[in-house]
Structure 1
Amino acid sequence: MRHTPVTPNGDRLRWVELPGADPARVYVHGLGATAPAYFAAVAAHPVLSGRRSLLADLLGFGLSDRPTDFPYTMEAHADALAAALRAAGVAGAEVIGHSMGGTVAVHLAARHPDLVSALVLVDANLDPVSPSRRSGSSGIATFTEEEFLNGGRREVRESVSPFWWATMRLAGPEALHRSAVHLARGSVRELLLDLPLPRTFLHPAADGEPAGAARLRSAGVQVTAVPDCGHNIMIDNPEGFVRAVAGALAH
């Protein structure tokens, strides 16, 4: 495990690194997740191995520090990740981002273009969502921060799967709530359309094509369906995931 300070207060972002050739690949997890748990098996798969791979935990999640004074906007996440990548000597990386991690990855590419050479978005959040009392970012975003800290987190714990809670429980409560709120409110669709680099959007085949798929394609974004999976594509169908990622990056 490696780490580096990424805020003026010295808060540290941590990542697990697999050795290999450059350019590096950077794997970014979703809300309430941690990159090693979600990506270790696929990053080490023979189809994707051999490349330097950083399985990065965003500030507030997983192995990283959980400051209570960090804003946890998607832009702040991207800037903190950028600081870590620069400290690690990474440039021109292929960035694979799942769910919220895909949103962060789009901001990373837009704000720090020297760090990113290609994007693979794994069922990522591109548009705002209306808060509703269900699990996920939209459910968490229905609480005020005070409500979430004083009982809402327990309510969410009871509504999510044991698999998700196993990593969600590691997140700082403020990090989880603020990230969910900013994720639910934000949009990166136009940013993604304008990025001048190879971009791929992976989605579960069972869900049908993502909203605005035709416009994504017209802007040069490859839209790829992966069979036999739900939202956690790399967990549900790792073989399908590695083939889709390899195909995307081969382009």
Structure 2
Amino acid sequence: MREAPVTPNGDRIRWVELPGAEPVRLYLHGLGSSTPAYFAAAAAHPLLAGRRSLLLDLLGFGLSDRPTDFGYTLEEHADAVAAAVAAAGPDRVEVVGHSMGGAVAIVLARRHPHLVERLLLVDANLDRIDPDRRRPGSSGIAAYDEEEFLAGGLGEVAERVGPFWWSTMRLAGPEALHRSARHLARATEPTMRELLLGLDLPRTFLHPAADGGPAGADALRAAGVRVVAVPDCGHNIMIDNPDGFAAAAAEALEQG
């Protein structure tokens, strides 16, 4: 495990580092998750192994610190990740981002274009989400204000997300979880989709084949984004179908 201070107060992001060749791969988890838990097997898969890999937990989640005075916007997450990558040393990274981690990856590429060599987005958030307390994830969490979320909403969310997701979500700082969800649901301005369309670097979007493709897939393709369906999986593609994910990811990361 490695760590680096990423805020003026010295709050630390931590990551598990796998040795290997460059270019370096940076893996980013989704809301309420932890990158080592969700991506370790994928990073070690024979089709993806051999690269120096940073399995990084966003500030507020997993192994990283959970400051209560941090805003947890997508922009702030991206800047904190950039500071951690600078401390880790690589000049450029290939970024693999799942769900919210994909949204952070897009913002990272926009705000720190010198740092990102290519993007592999794994069923990433691209658009605004309507808050709905009945749903799990960012939509349900964003439907609470922070006071009521801390006073009991977190417990209600725990019952809805199920034991697998809760196993890592319970490690998140409550403020971090709520603020990240609210900002993810609100999206950036312009939206992550609009930012993605304007990026000038190799970009691939993986999605579960059962979903029939992401919204606006034709516009993504027209802008040069490769849209790739992965069979036999849900939202957690790398966990549900490790071999299918590794094959699609390896092909995407080899594209020019």
TM, length-normalised to structure 1: 0.99
Aligned to 1:249: 253
- Aligned partners of 1:116, 1:243: CA distance in 2, in Å? 22
1:31 aligns with 2:31: yes
Q: 1:23·1:91 contact (CA, 8 Å) conserved in 2?
A: no
Aligned to 1:204: 208
Secondary structure of 2:126 counterpart: coil
Secondary structure of 2:227 counterpart: strand
- Aligned partners of 1:111, 1:198: CA distance in 2, in Å? 16
- Aligned partners of 1:44, 1:148: CA distance in 2, in Å? 37
- Aligned partners of 2:162, 2:220: CA distance in 1, in Å? 32
Secondary structure of 1:160 counterpart: helix
Aligned to 1:96: 96
Q: CA deviation at 1:91?
A: 2.1
1:190 aligns with 2:194: yes
Q: CA deviation at 1:250?
A: 1.3
1:221 aligns with 2:225: yes
Aligned to 1:19: 19
Q: 1:19·1:52 contact (CA, 8 Å) conserved in 2?
A: yes
Aligned to 1:138: 139
Q: 1:204·1:225 contact (CA, 8 Å) conserved in 2?
A: yes
- Aligned partners of 2:69, 2:97: CA distance in 1, in Å? 25
- Aligned partners of 1:139, 1:103: CA distance in 2, in Å? 18
Q: CA deviation at 1:115?
A: 1.1
Secondary structure of 1:229 counterpart: coil
Aligned to 2:47: 47
- Unpaired segments ≥5 residues, structure 2: none
- Aligned partners of 1:112, 1:239: CA distance in 2, in Å? 31
Q: CA deviation at 1:153?
A: 0.2
Aligned to 2:237: 233
TM, length-normalised to structure 2: 0.97
- Aligned partners of 1:129, 1:97: CA distance in 2, in Å? 18
Q: CA deviation at 1:114?
A: 1.3
Deviations 1:25-59 (A, max 9, x none): 00000000000000000101111011000000000
Moved over 2 A (4+): none
* % identical aligned pairs: 73
- Aligned partners of 1:135, 1:214: CA distance in 2, in Å? 28
Aligned to 1:116: 116
Q: CA deviation at 1:21?
A: 0.6
Read off the aligned partner of 2:251 and give its amino acid letter: G
Deviations 1:53-104 (A, max 9, x none): 0000000000000000000000000000000000011222110000000000
| Alignment: residue pair count | 251
- Aligned partners of 2:224, 2:253: CA distance in 1, in Å? 14
